[in-house]
Chain A
Amino acid sequence: MSGSVTRTPPVKRTLPVKRTRSAERTLSASARRRGHRLSADVALLAVAAAFVLPLAWVLFSAVDAEADLRVKFPEEPTFANFDAVLVPDVTFTPLLNSLLLCGGATLLTVSCAALAAYPLSRYRSRTGRAFLATILFATCLPITAIMVPVYALFVQVELIDTMHGTILFFAASQLPFAVWLMKNFMDGVPRELEEAAWTDGASPFQSLLRVVLPLMGPGIAVVTVYSFVMMWGNFFVPFMLLLSPDQMPASVSINDFFGNRGTVVYGQLAAFSVIYSTPVLLLYILIARRLGGGFALGGAVKG
């Protein structure tokens, strides 16, 4: 053994030494990695604790008849708050209004987006590219900023305080992003599949309806759910464009827990918040699992 070592050239002799050193290094590296994991876990849990406190407040207060502004576990969990808010005036009418408003606008947005995405995805033209650039530009505009002029315009054309007017504006404000997303999903449907339909004499409209759209179910689901969730949570648009209380969606009517009724019953506010938020959380889970979390960015960031 020692003889072989003396006979080996210097370059080779260093090899085993190097190997043991790298082995040591990987050993300490794995220990270090374990340390890293522990410190990362601790840091993440600290952030999670800070983030969860407001959420815990709403969950605990909703089942606490004596809820105030602090997080505390209810002494006697009760559904009294839910019973109190689950009446037509407080919950059912606003939720129905929300459903009508957001459902109608989503339907309009998704149909317009599917139709508009088709020529953008299938034919290349200069107009199409310019249109797409405009659409992308419009997705970023702060809609909040145009609400005052929209209000003034709606007063003039007598669309103020009407459900259909608000639906039309909602649909238009969400349309740029919906077109953008829809076009990206449609690009994923191979053209060859349509060509067969064309040779059978189908019009582009028929092939869109019968071939392309059925093949992009997940994409349509994402655009639909995304538009709906954005509108469901939107406060400023209905707040500006609707006036009569019986038309108000939940996003605006929730403010009635403050103001009008003197003292705020926090437990009922929390219970209503839970009822109002649950649909969007469920919808989000529905599509997030299918698309792995960062769905909103699939279209926005990747282009």
Chain B
Amino acid sequence: MSSAASGPRRALARALPASPGVVLLLLFLAGPLGYCVYLAFTDLQLTGQAESSFVGLDNFTKAFGDEDFRHAVWLTLVFTVVSSLIGQNTLGLGLAALMRRASRPVRTLTGGIVVVAWVLPEVVAGFLLYAFFRREGTLNAVLDWLHLPGQNWLYTLPILAVSFANVWRGTAFSMLVYSAALNEIPKEVTEAAQVDGASGLRRMWHITLPMIRRSIGTNLMLNTLQTLSVFGLIWVMTRGGPGGRSQTLPLYMYEQAFQNSMIGYATAVALLLLVVGSLFSLVYMRLLRTEV
């Protein structure tokens, strides 16, 4: 009897230390999330409107009917596929694999440089790559030196320029994940394949990749989630321009909220982004569970 009464009370007492954190999370994370779901169905504006009203699915039908929105979705896809799936992931795996064979000084030097690019603040990285891709910047200087034609990268191919910028900034993460994963493959396995005469690429494809597939999964998820929320880098380099040609969803959302004053509509876009993020998040948790 007394143990039944003290059970819940004891559980509560035990959980007590968690309460400041829980309160903080409820007020400043769960609260905004709930508010986000609510706002997405209203027509709240930035200024000059005392009351907002419930508008149902209007914001969403408006979004899917809006050419700029569809364009932003497309650019977000390009940005994610080029910079995260292809760029960071493949380059990171390549670097990690090469580092196992390379000599020690080269390995340390390359690893150091790539990690510095990752640790730098987002805005600084944006400036560095802005200078790199500008018409009078370093990339054109290098191309000129190689007798190749240069161009105004931030004007002609802005989405590609920001994608490369994100590769520059984010590859270190994949490199670290894959270095750790490759280190865990038992030496005997690769050596056995080597003795059997399997070439480097075949070993990679048939032995290494299947053995690290869980790391590939987690890495892809985390890269994609990070890439979906890139704002500062693109903002500094192009402001989403020229003419919206590098305007991914976060930048579109920002413009709708603050240039066009449509908070409700921008929140609906944010909610769509959150839903996509949540789906990736759930897949990621599933991957972790099978790994543990």
Task: Please give the residue numbers on chain A whose beta carbons come within 8 Å of chain B beta carbons, in ascending order.
Answer: 25, 29, 33, 36-37, 40-41, 43-45, 47-48, 51-55, 57-58, 61, 68-71, 108, 111-113, 115-116, 118-120, 122-123, 125, 127-128, 131, 133, 136-138, 140-153, 168-169, 171-173, 175-176, 179, 204-205, 208, 229, 232-236, 239, 251-252, 254-255, 266, 269, 273, 276-277, 280-281, 284, 288, 293-294, 296-297, 300-301, 303
Contacts and interface: CB of A to CB of B under 8 A. Distances in A.
Interface stretch (B54-62, B63-71, B106-114, B155-163): B106-114
A137 B176 contact: no
A169 B270 contact: no
B79 interface: no
A277 B281 contact: no
Contacts of B177: 294, 297, 301
B119 A229 contact: yes
A236 B126 CA distance: 13
Contacts of A142: 225, 228-229, 273-274, 277
Contacts of A300: 218, 222
Main SS class of interface, A? helix
B253 to A, nearest CB: 6
B233 to A, nearest CB: 9
A210 to B, nearest CB: 14
Given A125-B11, A127-B15, A294 B179 contact: yes
A233 B180 contact: no
Contacts of A171: 24, 28
Contacts of B185: none
B196 to A, nearest CB: 11
Given A41-B103, A301-B177, A115 B15 contact: no
B137 A69 contact: yes
Nearest to B99: A44
B173 interface: yes
B218 to A, nearest CB: 6
B138 A71 contact: yes
Contacts of A151: 257, 263
Given A45-B106, A48-B110, A277 B14 contact: no
30 contacts: A40-B101, A41-B103, A43-B98, A53-B138, A54-B132, A57-B132, A69-B137, A70-B138, A71-B138, A115-B21, A116-B17, A116-B18, A136-B285, A140-B221, A140-B284, A142-B225, A145-B273, A148-B266, A152-B263, A153-B32, A153-B35, A171-B24, A175-B25, A234-B232, A235-B235, A236-B231, A255-B123, A280-B119, A280-B121, A294-B176
Q: Enumerate the 4 nearest inter-chain pairs by beta-carbon distance, A residue then B residue, closest first.
A: A172-B28, A233-B121, A142-B229, A235-B232
